[in-house]
Chain A
């Protein structure tokens, strides 16, 4: 357990004020090679997980979508095609380096998606504005996950959906292999490909500290969402949670 002003940073305990700074450093460090590393680490599966999240979102033409911790903009790109010219997608990230990667990719793809640097715990949007809010591989890095979920719920319209795509608890028989992969292979790949073993060590540790499927479902319900359900993807390596604002 952490004290009132302390929190987790991977397996380490740090002050809440330091966590955002340290997470920021990790993502400044990995930003330029984030896509390459994602592809290597997940064997390209992260693209399938994201496509599935977009399919499950039920987003249609004309909808307003908020992509939180959108980083390199993979999801914003997919959503922009779904909502069309009548809709709106806003890409946000707390990290300027990651946001710059995403913004450039949107421009290169000829998509008009506003990129906004903001903290998910204090979203600069009015109440009941979005039809869909999504956070993919970002919630585990947030200092106060409960505040962030409550904010996401606040900006959703009634009937809107919150989707959380995040690493989760893997199917028990695979946990040993997954541990070896996470704590031995992942930092090694980080060292070889991004010359940054420490950041990838943090990624592996932060995955383990993140709430499992049922715990996250409970947190979403506590944040005011209803009919919360989740999908285990790739044997629970990743879970997609979906909840409604009613």
Chain B
């Protein structure tokens, strides 16, 4: 019943984001396989512009692959990470579906209001948002503290400016070595004829 449950959730999200119907309808009947970490799921576009998990024997028209590390970057809204998503097959279809899925918003306040009423739903949503914001802020502070401790008190992580200095030194050393190599080559070329002459004269 996993597929039925996910399909129901997708359809509920599509109902809340009706703008997506028009974008998806031209691709009705087509499916996209999402390979996220080790999980593979085929999502099919329905004739009414809805979404569903595809059946057991579906053959996808496009594939979107996202590794675990890339997924973490996408969660933290790293724009550069979006460029690294691997897409194959019908790329227009995959891009369109990925765009819809990433822009869909869950109106949880509306869902909650049907269960507990409007006012409690607003209050609960506010509480939820504040809690999430607090957790996010606390997590950032904790990460900063740990990072500072590992940089200053017990150096396990290099500071950014030290890494940059190290990189610049390596670049300078590489350039110096290249220059020296060129000079040696030039000298070798310059003295090679006289060296050859001396060695040939001294031969018995």
Residues of A within 8 A of B (CB): 48, 52, 55-60, 131, 159, 161, 213, 217, 227-234, 240, 242, 244
Q: How far, in whole Å, are A213 and B57 apart by their CA atoms in the complex?
A: 10
Q: A58-B47, A213-B56 are in contact. Are A233 and B11 (CB under 8 A)?
A: no
Q: A55-B11, A58-B28, A233-B4 are in contact. Are A242 and B48 (CB under 8 A)?
A: no
Q: How far, in whole Å, are A159 and B25 apart by their CA atoms in the complex?
A: 13
Interface SS of A by simple majority: strand
Contact across chains for A229 and B48 when beta carbons are under 8 A apart: no
Interface SS of B by simple majority: loop
Contact across chains for A227 and B29 when beta carbons are under 8 A apart: yes
Contact across chains for B46 and A56 when beta carbons are under 8 A apart: yes
Give the contacts of B42-56 with A (CB-CB under 8 A): 46-50, 52, 54-56
Q: How far, in whole Å, are A150 and B41 apart by their CA atoms in the complex?
A: 32
Contact across chains for B57 and A229 when beta carbons are under 8 A apart: yes
Select from chain A the residue with minimum beta-carbon distance to B47: A58
- Sample 16 A-B pairs with CB under 8 A, ordered by A number: A48-B1, A55-B11, A55-B50, A56-B7, A56-B52, A57-B47, A58-B46, A59-B47, A60-B48, A60-B49, A131-B47, A229-B54, A229-B58, A230-B57, A231-B55, A240-B55
User: Inter-chain contact count A-B, CB under 8 Å?
Assistant: 51
Out of B4, B8, B55, name the residue touching A229 (CB < 8 Å).
B55
Q: How far, in whole Å, are A244 and B48 apart by their CA atoms in the complex?
A: 14
Q: A52-B4, A234-B1 are in contact. Are A242 and B55 (CB under 8 A)?
A: yes
Contact across chains for B56 and A58 when beta carbons are under 8 A apart: no
Out of B8, B29, B49, B55, name the residue touching A55 (CB < 8 Å).
B8
